[in-house]
Amino acid sequence: MSQLLLFNIVNGLIIGAFYALMALGLSLILNLSGVINFAHGGFLAIGGYLAYTLFPYLGFWGALIASPFLVALIGILIEFVLIRWLYGRDPLYSLLLTFGLAFMIEDGTRFIWGAQSLPYQIPSWLAAPLSTELFFLTGYRVFMMILVAAVVLGLFLILSYTRLGLRIRAGTLDLETVSVLGVNVRVLRNLNFGLGIFLAGLAGVLAVGMLGLEPTVGDNLIMPSFIAIIVGGLGSLPGTLVGGLLIGVASGITSVFLPSASEAVMYVMMAVVLIARPRGILGEEGRF
Amino acid sequence: MKSSQISRGIGRRTLLRTGAVAGLLPLARPFVLSARAADTIKIGLDNPLTGTFAALGKNELIGAQLAVDQINAKGGILGRQVELLVEDSTSGDTATAVQKALKLIERDNVNFLIGNINSALAQAMANTSFEKGVFHIVPGGHTDSVTGKQCHWNVFRVCNTTRMETNSVSKLLLDKYGKKWYFITTDYAFGHSLQDGFEASLAAAGGTKLGADFTPLGTSEFSPNLIKAQSTNPDALILLLAGDDMINCLKQTVQFGLDKKLHIAGAQQELEVNKGLPPNALFGDWVFEWYWKQPGVPHVEEFVADIRKKSGGSVPTARTWFGYAAIWTCQLAAEKAKSLKPIDLAKAMQGLVLPPEVALMPNNPYYRIGDNQLMPTLFIGHSQPAPAGGDPEDLFAVTQLVKGDEAALPVDQTGCKMEWPS
Amino acid sequence: MPKLDKRAGDVLIWILLIALPFWLPFVGSYIELGTHVVVYALAAMALNFLLGYTGVLSFGHAAYFGLGAYGTAMTIKYLYPSTPLGMLVGIAVSTGAAALIGPMIIRLRGVYFAMCTIAFGQVFYFIAFQWRSATGGDDGVSAWHRMPLHLGFTSIDILGSSRAFYYFVLAVFAVCAAAMAFLLRSPFGRTLLAIRENERRARFLGIPVDRHIWVSWVVSCFFVSVAGTLFALMNNFVDPRALRWDQSGNFVIMAVLGGMRSFWGPLIGAAIFLVLQDYLSSHTENWMSFIGLFFVLVVLFFPRGVLGLVRRRTSS
């Protein structure tokens, strides 16, 4: 039993890292621009589909690198055309708009690539467990964990040491002052959105190694992402990371005892956090 | 939540608004589903075209469209041309499915109602068609209650019941692998009845259920369940999962190396699922309800060729055949009854045998008297990567054929108490 | 002038609703769609009581919608086949649950409140899903139907006649709408508007804000549960999907689409959403793109929902 528990905790961390990747993108966009991006799952799907299309030309690794950048470009374009009209308005409108966008992305991917699930092959040396003892540690999942860790590290480095990152952080705290200080807020928001979508696209490429590739592949990942943000604390990126890992582990542990509750336990966690400590684990008081 | 408005020019907004409305107006699209004319026989198809079951629904639609074309080329039904009215029921919204069924029945006055892939939607639609007294065929919804506990005189079904599927393959699995099974099942009607069927087979053979995990529909993460299953060391790991969940689980099974450690099997499998799997995930023993490669069986090759033309090169799947057989059944029933009255059609359906060009399988399938369930042939076999030099869609190797009526429960055990109107 | 316009608008809407079974088939549609619109309109208006008038967003209203539906379905199926009894039980159970849950979440605001309502909603969804013996699990409660109304002197066949059922739904809707309008015009309603505009100031004025929000929450959930009972009766079926967060999302979308700040906004939003979806999905497989595009355009060009535009025109 305890071995089973250990297996599931480790596995839960890996899945949690994946949730965190999604949630971080969502959080970046929410914090700076106040936009609830309901289409995040759609961008994940686009990431997966672009990887599928690029695979014959660039191979697994080429597609892995190229796809998130392409999706980020699409994100930047969409921000310019659609999203930027939402700033300053009630977040409910961003919800409705991105919901509509999600519809269009789902239908668009179905129109272009068809409703039939598409096969995606990962390199065979990744698609095997590391050892027969620790069979649940597959090469692919460890690779995913390492990649997510590297990307998260990269994100924090960008936010801490580059000008863009500094401006994003400052903008999250007080956008008006940042604008008055001469920073082009329009461009800042645009690039921030692109960064968030980059993470979604990357999550998409990673997802299709484990999941079937079809238009609704991102649908079930939206809610866990929001939960991760709330549990970790709105406005705090480290909090989102912790939140994602936490719900991944909680889900894993629950599936040992009551598999059908593995999804519900995330919501229970969120309710508990909201009632007991609304600002979340690492959130600041009075942020929203 | 306060809103602060920055007003933009009215002129531009009005212009853009007008343009947007004008852009929405023309709905004469290349992908118009149907046009409604008068004095035709109308068949209403209420099936998913969006969502999880979109791929399956698309294939049933293609099969139905081929049947309509063929029927019209041969003179239609009772001398009148047939029109197929297509509605998207969505993949899981019962309210929409029922509403569309009522639209087809009340507004469009369809003579025949067809649908649904989703078991719960199929049953809700069947209860509705029963209230309205409309002839209804369920092509691909598997829940046993449709021809079981909630059977109706006006409702018929093409695809197998879950019990037929499990009964057909359980002997093979028990003999080949052993009697200790672990289940991972999607937590809804379809999954539950498949599991009930297998548990009955296990009990009859003196086997043991080592464990059963129910996962919600739309689960992406199967690692906890697979870890648990592996720890019990079963003779066979039985996967009773719906479409995309099956793909997710099989992909993850391979990555854990469990395909080398355990025997993976299940009941229903579909070509649509196999087409979504990378070659290393194509394994396991399953039941197909129809397969496109049937050497020596008449008319199958022509059907495959016709469907390839309609679908842009893809072969027909079991779903294609369900749609095809359902529409042809309407024609056969009407010709036999010489009438379009639902009660006459239903009476003509009793024991109706599908001719070889519709059956497209050995053993003469027929609609069983007493529960309105078609008795087709089931195709037992194992999944395989496409053979070198063969067709890229040849992803299943059929090893055994089982007659439906041998796998089915006798009518009095299905729970169906058919009540005919006086 | 504006008051006359508003009166005229109200009258027009009622005329359209009452005459619906006659003009709707005439334009190529069908009564059941109208019934569907009225049921969802009631749910969206109930949500808007909380959202548009009190300024509090709930994203978990489907929980109480669904509880009302399940209460009705299970009563008729297992307890006693009577439509009014089913409705009463559904409403009572659902409102009771809302009243109990309210105090737990009342201190939260904004997105926190919204997410907490989702959490509770999903807990109910999970229970409905798991408790297979009672609720049928994912298969839902089927094999029952709405019972004709026996009024002593006559019997109304709301089961067989779509028209009769539509008028039944419309009657219930009318009573609820009138009640909501009455409440919103009362001092209580005015206080809610004050809370929406500036909660801190309201508090300084001595208004017990939390208590008002709780009452508004319970009232809102009461009316959404009525909509839920009608939903179950309409389909002769209920499944856990009625409780899920995406169902809640539909209500929010309808309210925002039509206009949160107006009484009839949610009705217009429900009508547009459902009619558009029904029409488009009959003509093209790609209806989702058109609906999605429509939402995007509404948000970009109709800043206060569809009715917001109309209102601006008439008041200028």
pLDDT band of C312, cuts 50, 70, 90: low
Check residues B135 and A182 and name the one with the higher pLDDT. Answer: B135
Q: Is residue A275 part of a domain?
A: no
pLDDT, residue A261, reads 84
- Buried-exposed string A23-33: b where 16+ CB fall within 10 A, e elsewhere: bbbbbbbbbbb
Cβ of residue A212 closer than 8 Å to a chain B Cβ? yes
* Pairwise CB contact (< 8 Å): C256 & A234: no
pLDDT at B238 over 90: yes
What residues 201-220 of chain B have any CB closer than 8 A to a CB of chain C?
216-217
Which residue has better confidence, B33 or C19?
A: C19
Q: Rounded to a whole number, what is the distance in Å from the CA of C165 to chain A's nearest CA?
A: 32
> A93 to chain C, minimum CA–CA distance in Å?
6
Residue C105: pLDDT over 90: no
Residues of chain C contacting B123 with CB distance shorter than 8 Å: 139, 142
CB contact under 8 A, A11 and B214: no
Sign of the dihedral defined by the CA atoms of residues C218, C220, C223, C225, in that order:
negative
Task: Supply the range of the domain harboring residue A129.
Answer: 2-217
* pLDDT higher than 90, residue C8: no
Per-residue pLDDT, averaged over C150-164, amounts to 82
- Residue-wise pLDDT tens digits, B45-57: 999 999 889 999 9
Residues of B in contact with A110 (CB under 8 A): 50, 54
Task: For B167-185, write each residue's pLDDT tens digit.
Answer: 999 999 999 999 999 999 9
Q: What pLDDT does residue C3 have?
A: 67
Chain C residues in contact with B88 by the CB 8 A cut-off are 281-282, 285, 287
Q: Is A185 contained in some domain?
A: yes
pLDDT at res. B25: 39
- What pTM, to 2 d.p., does this model score? 0.89
Neighbours of chain A (3+ CB pairs under 8 A): B, C
Specify the DSSP class assigned to residue A283: P
CA-based nearest distance B68→chain A, Å: 23
pLDDT of residue C309: 67
CB contact under 8 A, B50 and A110: yes
The mean pLDDT of chain A is 89
Query: Predicted confidence band at B37 (pLDDT cuts at 50, 70, 90)?
Result: low
Is A137 a member of any domain? yes
Question: What pLDDT is attached to residue A285?
Answer: 64
Q: Which chains are within 8 Å of B by 3+ CB pairs?
A: A, C
Q: What is the pLDDT of residues C230-239, one digit of tens each?
A: 999 999 999 8
What average pLDDT does the segment A215-228 reach? Answer: 90
What whole-number distance in Å separates Cα of residue A81 and Cα of residue A66?
A: 23
From chain B, pick out residues whose CB is under 8 angstroms from the CB of A220. 218-220
Whether the predicted pLDDT of B320 surpasses 50: yes
Distance CA A199, CA A26 (A): 9
pLDDT at B34 over 80: no
Q: Is A107 on the interface with C (CB under 8 A)?
A: yes
Residue A3 has pLDDT above 70, yes or no: yes
C contact set with A (CB within 8 A): 57, 104-105, 108, 110-112, 115-116, 118-120, 122-123, 125-126, 129-130, 245, 249, 252-253, 256-257, 260, 286-289, 291-296, 298-300, 303
pLDDT tens per residue across span C23-66: 988 888 899 999 999 999 999 999 999 999 998 999 999 999 99
Please report, rounded to a whole number, the percentage of residues in chain C having pLDDT higher than 70: 96
In terms of DSSP H, where are the helices of chain C? Answer: 2-18, 20-26, 31-51, 62-74, 83-105, 110-130, 132-135, 162-185, 187-197, 199-204, 209-235, 245-258, 265-283, 287-301, 305-315
> Residue B280's Cα: distance from chain center in Å?
26
Of the partner residues C140, C284, C290, the one whose CB lies closest to the CB of residue B120 = C140
Total number of domains in chain A: 1
From the CA of B24, how many Å to the nearest CA of chain C? 7
**Which listed CATH number (3.40.50.280, 3.40.50.2300, 3.40.47.10, 3.40.30.10) goes with B163-288?**
3.40.50.2300
Architecture of domain B41-160+293-375: 3-Layer(aba) Sandwich (3.40)
In chain B, ranges of CATH 3.40.50.2300 domains: 41-160+293-375, 163-288
Contacts of C55 in chain B (CB under 8 A): 1
Q: What is the pLDDT of residues C188-200, one digit of tens each?
A: 999 999 999 998 8
pLDDT for residue B15 is more than 50 = no
Residue A89 touches partner C, C-beta closer than 8 Å: yes
Residues of A in contact with B278 (CB under 8 A): 119-122
What DSSP line would sit under B252-282, residue for residue? HHHHTTHHHHS-EEEEE--HHHHHTS-GGG-
Q: Check whether A22 has a pLDDT greater than 70.
A: yes
Whether the CB of A286 is below 8 Å from some CB of chain B: the reply is no
Q: How far is residue C148's CA from residue B340's CA, in Å, rounded to a whole number?
A: 30
Residue B17 has a pLDDT of 43
Is the pLDDT confidence value at A260 over 90? no
Which of C33, C138, C159 lies at the smallest CB-CB distance from B187? C138
B392 in contact with A at a CB cutoff of 8 Å? Answer: no
Give residue-wise pLDDT tens across range C60-84: 999 999 999 999 999 999 999 999 9
pLDDT bin (cut points 50, 70, 90) of residue B162 is very high
**What number of C-beta contacts closer than 8 Å exist between B and C?**
115
Q: Is residue A129 part of a domain?
A: yes
Return the pLDDT at B79: 92
Residue C126's Cβ-count burial label (10 Å; 0-12, 13-18, 19+) is buried
Q: How far is A284 from chain C (nearest CA, A)?
A: 13
- A131 near B CB under 8 A: no
